[in-house]
Structure 1
Amino acid sequence: MNKRIRTPVKRRLEINDEAGIGVSRNFHSIVVEAGGYEALTFDERDVRNHIENARRLRLGVGDVESIAFYFHRMQQENSNFYSGIDFDVDGRIRNLFWVDARSRVAYKAFGDVVSFDTTYLTNKYDMPFAPFVGVNHHGQSILFGCGLLSNENTDTFVWLFKEWLNCMSATPPNAIITDQCRAMQNAIQIVFPEAQHRWCLWHVMKKISEKLRGYSQYEAIKFALQSAVYDSFRKNEFDEEWQTMIEKFSLHDNEWLGYDNALRSKVEKETKADFKSRDRLYDCLTVYEFEKQFRAAYTNAKFKEVQVELKRLLYYHANLVKEEGSICTYHVKEAVLVGEKMKKVEFLVYFNSTEFEIQCVCRWFEFRGIMCAHSLSVLIERSIYEVPNKDIMSRWRKDLEIGYTCIPTTYTKSGAALNVKVHENYHKTLDEIIEIASNDNGKHKAIQLGLREIKERYYSQGA
């Protein structure tokens, strides 16, 4: 919401771009028309990103008609031809997907394993071309479907995979092979949760030169790596060969080789941060009680962001300018250093004395989840030194319950005793129970008592 460009402004930017007006001049014209930078909810970088995306989506004269004609002709030739078109909010084509009748039949025979790759680019629009590829009974590549995408984010891949799944009678592949794309991985987990997802070996192996050529024993390392990958027939054989290679050539510090090490490192960093947030408290900068509230609730990293806002209080002063019923309007002046001169910038803050709600036009709380110094200065002006629980974001809490730490992985033993499916079923059941209880305190107490009894019963049995 904070960075939204309204549709009329988008169209104006695109018209100017088509007329050959550069991004900077284009943005400046919007600034002048709006009456200044502070009147806009976006900046030049947002404009540049939008124009670059719009250029990708900008089809040439006759292209839309050509696509429609092609899809119609294929449909006429065989009613099993499948096509899907994804439109953006302005009604323009964003993504395309199509599968001919032959490919749909081929998938029924050879669709147990599918390779999906977006490394191909069309020359004209620089849009990722995304083919679904399999292998037939001759060992030959066979096409199962094609996509033409405007970008490579999770939402786009989710749309594409859902279209493809719908086309293939809701039958997902047993296994899917892709390159190392996080957005693609996220979409696969959403649409094909049961499929075995593996990285493409070709993509991995082609990076050997890029990642390892700097070593003096590069040729020997490459030979050992290829031997481990291609000549190992069992997992334990590969593990032994891999470890021997790491030890022999002292490759412990090579981040590219340490896939599991990198993941394990992230887990360890998160665990350490959790421990520090619970064990170590930062000193407060002020005497205000709300700082202590945030310190007690938030992780250290987020509390430090709160303290950044507290430091800014030195430059703020809030004045009540209007009071209509329970709504109080404040002007908060901020002293900003521009070059060598101080400039006063004014912000509007609204305080609802009945609902105890506060809102600042800077929208920092909505955008970052941290209460801004403008709002804090108003609370201080009203001699309010504590904030309600609704102003303490639950997702920043140090005591947040995070179920994924119980999920077993190949790179950490954490949660190894708990099966993933069992864990998901527990969470689903608990969510259903919470939904039934809703806001009924009586039901909540009964549920809490029942859970404690279950815990004590099985804990005593385990002991």
Structure 2
Amino acid sequence: MDASNEPPIFDIDSHSQSLVNGSDINHLQYNEIRFDKLSSEDLKGKEFKTVEESDAFYYAYAKAMGFDVRSDYKRFSVCTKDKVTSRRLLCSAQGKRREEYMNGKRRVRRPKKETRFNCPCLFKVSYCKEKDSYIVDDFITERSHKLAETHESHLLRSHRSVQDAHLALATSMQRVSVKPCHTYEYIVDKAGGFSNVGFTIKDLYNKLDSRRREILLDGDAEAALAYMRGKVVTDSKFFCQFSIDEDNRLANMFWRDSNSLLDYSCFGDVVLFDSTYKTNHYEKPLVLFVGSNNHLSTTVFGFALLMDETIETYTWVLEMFISSMNNKKPIAILTDGDETMRRAIEVVLPGCPHHLCTWHVAKNARSHLRNNKAFSEFMHCMWDETTPDGFEQRWNDMVNTYGLHDKNWVTMMYEKRHKWAEAFISGHFFARMHSTQRCEGMNRYMKGYLKSGVKLFELIPALDRALLRLRNKVVEEDFRSNNSTHVLTTQLKNLEHHATTIFTDSVFEHVRKEIDRVGSLIISRSMSFGSIHLFFTSRYNSNNLQNEYTTFYHPKDNHHMECSCTLFECEGIPCSHMFNIMKHEHMTEIPSSLVLKRWTKSAKSDMQTSIPMNNVSNEAIEFARYGDLNCLGSKLSFLASKTKEGTDILNNEFMRLEPILTNLWKQEKEKSVSPDHCSNIVRDPIRVRIKGTQVTSSKGSKSQRRCGLCRNYGHKRPTCPQRKRGENRV
């Protein structure tokens, strides 16, 4: 028989769509014979060009008839090794379960339902070298079981598969915390029903899990490090450093990207350093390095995962942090008061002003000072703007009045007074940050992107997405500051207008408050020393000299000013006393010497703010392409669905383009040679014990569960012998 003269046995492309969505499934034909009318004689001796074509035919036949297909064998040529010589497909109900698995004496669980009924249905082809095609040797249509109805055919296992497009959609949705079950509902809604999807929700979960296991083939640590290596390729200034323990397990890891480097170069004068827990499967503490940007919002400088919380570990991560930032050190650092952090800071950043979180100090004070008056007095010691001598006097009065000499916590806090009392930290710049609540808030924000017990390879991309959204908020704040103007409300409109043009919206609100206070101030007296002028400012109608502030004015030194209130030194904005001098000197603009660039709209003007396109990963580019095409495809599908002609045109175009695009994808995959799997150079870390973990006794074994029916050990209610005796009772 000449295969070239035979009509096409089965047009795969023309029927592929109908096989997916289940429509017209009973109208499939072979040589003008309906599938349900085919007999062995109709098919024996017929030819298929390829084994794939024969498989496609039988799978289509099986779905049309309503049964599952199982592969029996596929034999290859001894010479070529890649040429299929014979292929046999069976009905999944072929064969019979072995008797020992049905009525085994030692069986505890109930046997699963029987799905094999010795069904003889099969399909076999063999390769004919003379004709260079596959000849049908055997085709049996008899069956020994009930077939699935048409509306049930989408549940047949061998005819279900998750398409790459649906997998890409589910993966993309999962990235933004949309659960697979919700994605599946969306796919069902778009397809017009469950029977038109082509797979079940369990199939989708299995496919996602299979993809996850492929990523973890070399281990979680290696998968995470591979992600980091990919970041290095796409971001030339990306920094990642890790250490391993004696068992070759991942111990500590620090990383930051080029955007963090840019932010640190502009706003890294003050750094908040804090750790959070329960963010990953290994319970490794996650350390955040954060700061305050020109909008007074949080900016992230870097992340670290630690093996423990010892001085050596904190020292390592601080050294990595400073090294990654071109050895630029902050001028101040803020922590929650952890002792190991403090000692590590003294090693890496000796002499750097270290401020304790005021919120934690106040919280500890409340728990240690039960007397409300003593607590109130302590808060005065912390916040009063006084001299160190004034602090000492008030502290001694508090200790003597409330009998706090023997309080160990009070003694410890006195030794640390230089780190929390306003009398000692006044004049130090902390970028308007006094507590680690900014870090606490950032921890809560980051945990919103993390599921409990995530692996490392999932944790790091999730943090990247959280960071991406955080940075987009900064772009929005930049846009609002640059594309809107404030309504002027003070009497010093020239100065106020100038402030609106240079400061961001958030900082401007604080500057405007200082301008507003000028109305209640007067210059009580002044004197000059050559080119330097000295002004004494006090409140209007106030004779209290203790409320008088001294301001030095240097008109020849770029109109520089210094005030005894030290607001400019502490917060970086001109104080009301300085604005009072500007009013006295008839200034219309704020001197540049009193404008701290980190608070201005142009804080990053000297830095490269644009990110080159090659800093975007290939995976991100693919997802972006997929999103664009998906939107375009949805639009075309909507328009085509309005008419039958439009639907036919779009269907034909899809069928024409599918093999072309599939071939392009195969060519692209052949170009990129995937590397061999490594032999776990870095092993996965073990779970660590974090601070606050409850101590459990290692003695004794874990208590066993009792049966809910007979209260004995070794089994549960469903397999209880008493239950079986009750079921056999007449």
Please give the range of the TM-score, normalised by the shorter of the 2 chains. 0.3 to 0.5
Higher relative contact order at CA 8 Å, sep ≥6: structure 1 or structure 2? 2
If the length of structure 1 is used for normalisation, what is the TM-score? Answer: 0.40
- The structure having more radius of gyration, on CA atoms, is 2
